[in-house]
Structure 1
Amino acid sequence: MSAIYTTDPATNERVTLSELARRHGIHVSTLSRRHAEGLRGQALINKIDFAAHLAAQNAKKTQEVERREWIMAASMAALSRPLRHIADAWKMVGGAQ
C-alpha cells in the first residue's frame, strides 16, 4: 500500500500520514479515517473534546430511551382500548351490522 501524503497544518510541509501522526501524537489509524472522511488541514489533527463527545453520546442514548418508552406507551394505549370501541369502529367503516 502506498503512503498517503498531506500537508502538515502547523508547518505547511508535505508529509505522510504516519509522520503527521508522529508529530501530533495522534494514532495513524485515526488520521487515516479522518482523511478518508474528507477532513484536511487543522480538522485532520484536531484533538477530540472528550467531555463534549461523552455528553453527545449520553444525549443520544437518552433520546433513544425516551423514544422507546414513548413507543411502548403508545402501543399500550392502543392495546388497552375496550373491545367495545373496536366493535364501534368496525361498524363505522361498514362492517357487520
Structure 2
Amino acid sequence: MKCLLDGEAYELFDDFFVAIARDGAATVEVAIQLQKVLHMLATVDQPRYRQAALQQSRSALARCENALSLPDDIQRVRAAAARVAQAAGGVSAIS
C-alpha cells in the first residue's frame, strides 16, 4: 500500500468530502453521516488521515452552522464533530 504524502491526504479528503459538506450542509442527516465517516477515518492509525479528517470535520461543521436554522440540529452536528475531534486527538470542546 502506498503511503500518502502530507499534502496528498488533504487533497484526497478535499476531493471526497468538500462537495458533500457544501451541498449537504443544510440537511442534518447528511451532515451527521459525514461526521460519522470522518470519525471512522480519524481512528485510522495514520496521522495524516487523522489531521485531514479533523480539518474536514471542522470545515463541514462551519458550513452547517451557517446553513442549519434549528439549534437542536446544529447541536447534533456539533456533537458528532466533537467525536471526530476526540478521535483525532484534537480539541473536543466544540461550541
Q: Same fold by TM-score, threshold 0.5 exceeded?
A: no
Q: Judging by fraction of residues, say which structure has more strand.
A: 1
TM score, norm. by length of structure 2? 0.25
Instruction: Find the structure with the greater CA-based Rg.
Output: 1
Larger helix fraction of residues: 2
